[in-house]
């Protein structure tokens, strides 16, 4: 017997997700590289080519806002990148190296913010998890908040994820700053997006794996407690 085909709504969701990722990859990786290579090949300065190639991530942000009609954390981060680019452009000297490390300022600050929130009542990744790990309803948010209040293991996992993300982004920023000082500009134009997308991809993959292990441990502990209850009553 053949397995049933996915429901139309599932297929539409998969296609929409694939299209969204394709647009993001083209605007944030492919077009900036192509634009930089074409402009420098036509005699433009490296600085001017970098400024114009940085317009494509802004295009991606606008497409996302029009498509989804909402702003999320990733759109805000992209806009911060663009504002920082404009600030670097306006403040002399016009240094190509300064433009190449502009993104490191944002990612480095994000990493430091993650580490700083470890001293707060709730770490930053608790709020990110609540956004992406719930359906956004009052009931879903209440369940997520209850996990923090009732389960010490959940609190340890949230703090651990925040620590890893903080260290990961801080290390990524330092690596980009160091590489930009020793590698030629045309190489860094390729390395920058690889680090920009590779770092969150690795962190997300690790976070998903960590969350699955934590969920399995929690379910095992709940099952053990449920089994221990009747045994204790019988004893």
Q: Which tens digits make up the pLDDT trace of 171-186? A: 999 998 898 888 888 8
Average pLDDT over residues 70-80: 55
Long-range contacts of 127-136 (CB under 8 A, 24+ apart): 128/73, 129/158, 129/161, 131/72, 131/73, 133/211
Average pLDDT over residues 1-30: 63
pLDDT digits (tens, 9 = 90+) for 193-211: 888 889 988 998 999 899 8
Average pLDDT over residues 87-109: 68
Q: Is the pLDDT of residue 2 over 50?
A: no
Q: Which of 95, 153, 93, 154 is nearest to 129 (CA)?
A: 154
Q: Which residue carries 């404009």 as its tokens? A: 86
Q: Is the pLDDT of residue 84 over 70?
A: no
Looking at residue 3, what is its pLDDT? Answer: 47
Q: Determine how many CB atoms are found less than 10 A away from the CB of residue 46.
A: 19
Looking at residue 47, what is its pLDDT? Answer: 75
Q: How many whole angstroms separate alpha carbon 120 and alpha carbon 122?
A: 5
Q: Is the pTM of this model over 0.85?
A: no
Min mean pLDDT across 3-7, 85-89, 108-112 is at 3-7
Cβ(14)–Cβ(22) below 8 Å = no
Q: What does each C-alpha distance from 137 to 10, 70, 134, 163 come to in angstroms?
A: 21, 16, 8, 28
Looking at residue 85, what is its pLDDT? Answer: 56
Cβ(34)–Cβ(83) below 8 Å = no
Alpha helices in the chain (DSSP H): 8-25, 31-41, 46-53, 55-68, 73-90, 96-100, 102-116, 124-132, 138-150, 152-182, 185-234
At residue 39, the 3 state secondary structure works out as: helix
Looking at residue 230, what is its pLDDT? Answer: 61
pLDDT band per the 50, 70, 90 thresholds, residue 138: confident
Average pLDDT over residues 25-46: 86
User: Would you give the DSSP letter of residue 92?
Assistant: S
User: Would you give the DSSP letter of residue 101?
Assistant: T
Q: Which residue carries 């770092």 as its tokens? A: 199
- How far does Cα 180 stand from its chain's mean position? 22
Q: Which of 27, 23, 51 is nearest to 39 (CA)?
A: 51
Q: How many whole angstroms separate alpha carbon 168 and alpha carbon 124?
A: 14
Average pLDDT over residues 137-149: 85
């Amino acid at each position: 017997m053949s397995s049933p085909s996915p429901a139309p709504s599932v297929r539409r969701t998969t296609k929409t997700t694939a299209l969204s990722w394709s647009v993001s990859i083209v605007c944030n990786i492919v077009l900036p590289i192509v634009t930089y290579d074409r402009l420098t090949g036509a005699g433009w300065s490296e600085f001017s080519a970098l400024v114009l190639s940085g317009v494509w991530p802004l295009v991606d942000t606008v497409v996302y806002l029009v498509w989804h009609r909402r702003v999320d954390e990733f759109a805000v981060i992209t806009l911060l990148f663009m504002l920082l680019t404009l600030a670097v452009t306006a403040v002399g000297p016009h240094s190509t190296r300064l433009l190449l490390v502009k993104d490191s300022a944002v990612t480095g600050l994000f990493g430091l913010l993650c580490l700083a929130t470890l001293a707060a009542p709730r770490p930053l990744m608790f709020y990110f998890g609540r956004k992406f790990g719930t359906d956004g309803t009052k009931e879903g948010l209440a369940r997520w908040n209850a996990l923090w209040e009732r389960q010490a293991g959940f609190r340890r996992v949230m703090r651990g994820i925040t620590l890893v993300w903080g260290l990961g982004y801080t290390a990524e920023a330092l690596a980009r700053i160091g590489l930009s000082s020793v590698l030629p500009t045309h190489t860094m134009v390729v390395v920058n997006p690889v680090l920009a997308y590779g770092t969150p991809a690795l962190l997300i993959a690790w976070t998903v794996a960590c969350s699955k292990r934590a969920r399995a441990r929690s379910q095992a502990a709940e099952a053990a407690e449920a089994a221990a209850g009747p045994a204790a009553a019988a004893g």
